[in-house]
A and B are shown apart, each in its own frame.
Chain A
Amino acid sequence: GESVGLHLPTLSVQEGDNSIINCAYSNSASDYFIWYKQESGKGPQFIIDIRSNMDKRQGQRVTVLLNKTVKHLSLQIAATQPGDSAVYFCAENPPPGNTGKLIFGQGTTLQVKP
């Protein structure tokens, strides 16, 4: 299942399918981007990050893609599992970059159907 458009509040996918969650960021000078997963009743949990000098970074079953031309970030989850059901947030670190300020997106709820 793929999302269409820059941001969908909810994405529903079948177990085993690949998921793509999209995010638009605001500051073209941001040099660091991060994805968090938040399960119900818990705080955000770090998934993967990427710096602006890279276009792609892979982790275990997850890939982050960065398109600086259109200020777009995406998170790809391979072989989505029920445990992946959560709200996913992207965040950018705008300049000057050393203040700890993260600007978060609205979040996308991923629902995995068995």
Chain B
Amino acid sequence: ETGVTQTPRHLVMGMTNKKSLKCEQHLGHNAMYWYKQSAKKPLELMFVYNFKEQTENNSVPSRFSPECPNSSHLFLHLHTLQPEDSALYLCASSQSPGDQPQHFGDGTRLSIL
């Protein structure tokens, strides 16, 4: 139990579908993050939220739309994805963006057909 829970663990979707990934942290942290982990590539930071406000967008395509309704929940809304978007999507949290370490969930394995 890492304190960061991601659902679903696996998701298969077509390119025209709309789906959402959910992340919930039980650590009392204020900062939350989305990362993409593709095969043979390093983890890539996508978004950073601090107290529900987006503070970093790492040039992520608009087909990925994050939402942070409160400091415990983070969503990643997906629409019109491409096959190259198939990857493991990891959520993390920390006390604040300047605090380390970041605590990771176990990810959602996303496959785009």
Interface, chain A (partner B; CB < 8 A): 32, 34, 36, 41-46, 49, 89, 91, 93, 97-107
Question: Is the Cβ of B48 less than 8 Å from the Cβ of A99?
Answer: yes
Assign chain B's interface to a size class.
Answer: 20 to 34
Count of CB-CB pairs between chains A and B under 8 Å: 65
- Whole-angstrom distance between the alpha carbons of A100 and B76 in the complex? 18
Which listed residue, B2, B43, B44, B48, touches A100 by the CB 8 Å rule?
B48
Interface, chain B (partner A; CB < 8 A): 2, 4, 6, 31, 33, 41-45, 48, 50, 55-56, 90, 92, 94, 96-98, 100-107
- Whole-angstrom distance between the alpha carbons of A41 and B2 in the complex? 13
Question: Is the Cβ of B33 less than 8 Å from the Cβ of A100?
Answer: yes
Question: Is the Cβ of A43 less than 8 Å from the Cβ of B45?
Answer: no
* Distance to closest chain B CB from A68 (angstroms): 18
CB-CB nearest in chain B for A100? B97
Which listed residue, B96, B98, B106, touches A42 by the CB 8 Å rule?
B106
Q: B56 to chain A: which residues have CB within 8 Å?
A: 99-101
Question: Is the Cβ of B42 less than 8 Å from the Cβ of A98?
Answer: no
Known: A42-B106, A44-B43, A89-B43. A97 touches B98 (CB 8 A): yes
Interface residues of chain A: helix, strand, loop or mixed (majority): loop
Q: A98 to chain B: which residues have CB within 8 Å?
A: 96-98
Q: A32 to chain B: which residues have CB within 8 Å?
A: 100
CB-CB nearest in chain B for A107? B42
Question: Is the Cβ of B102 less than 8 Å from the Cβ of A100?
Answer: yes
CB-CB nearest in chain A for B93? A100
16 additional A-B pairs beyond A99-B55, A100-B98, A102-B43, beta carbons within 8 Å, are: A36-B104, A42-B106, A43-B104, A43-B107, A44-B104, A91-B43, A98-B96, A99-B48, A99-B98, A100-B31, A100-B48, A100-B55, A102-B100, A104-B44, A106-B42, A107-B42
Question: Is the Cβ of B42 less than 8 Å from the Cβ of A49?
Answer: no
Q: A43 to chain B: which residues have CB within 8 Å?
A: 2, 4, 6, 90, 92, 104-107
Q: B2 to chain A: which residues have CB within 8 Å?
A: 43, 45
* Distance to closest chain B CB from A112 (angstroms): 22
